[in-house]
Amino acid sequence: MVGWATYHRYIQSAEVFDKIDYLVFKALTRWMRRRHPNKNVKWLKRKYCRPTSKRDWNFYVKYRDAKGATATLDLLRMVDIVRVRYIKIKGKATPYDPTYNQYFAMRSKASNIRLT
């Protein structure tokens, strides 16, 4: 899913990323409730989620690495992937024409701006 989101980060993708995050969250909460039908929401949250600086419900998994040490891995949300706006080039602009030097300098500065 990360590769798909990275590929589509250049288009108007915020609404789609929000929707996919919502669907994944709903699927995981349904799975938790089905797996532990007699447990309450607080217990489920303590077992499968942990708070981060951005959100309160962040799913994670504990695992053992190659050395046998316990480590954790957080579920990546698609809205956390940096979205990049693509700026079209004017039809007549060419980098070989000196009259467009300022235009291409402005474009290179603007392309370094990233949206989160």
- Judged against a pLDDT cut of 70, whether residue 112 lies above it is answered with no
What average pLDDT does the chain have? 82
26-51 pLDDT, tens digit per residue, is 999 999 999 999 999 999 999 999 88
All residues at 6 or more sequence positions from 81 whose CB lies less than 8 Å from its CB, including other chains:
2, 5, 6, 9, 17
CA–CA gap between residue 27 and residue 31 (Å, rounded): 6
Model-level pTM? 0.66
Q: What pLDDT shows up at residue 17? A: 83
For 66, the 3-state DSSP assignment is: coil
61-72 pLDDT, tens digit per residue, is 889 988 889 888
CA–CA gap between residue 19 and residue 47 (Å, rounded): 25
- Judged against a pLDDT cut of 80, whether residue 6 lies above it is answered with no
The two three-digit tokens of residue 114, written as one number? 């990233």
Q: What pLDDT shows up at residue 1? A: 66
CA–CA gap between residue 27 and residue 20 (Å, rounded): 11
Q: Between 61 and 87, name the one with better pLDDT.
A: 61
Q: What pLDDT shows up at residue 110? A: 62
Triad 68, 70, 76: Cα angle to 5°: 125
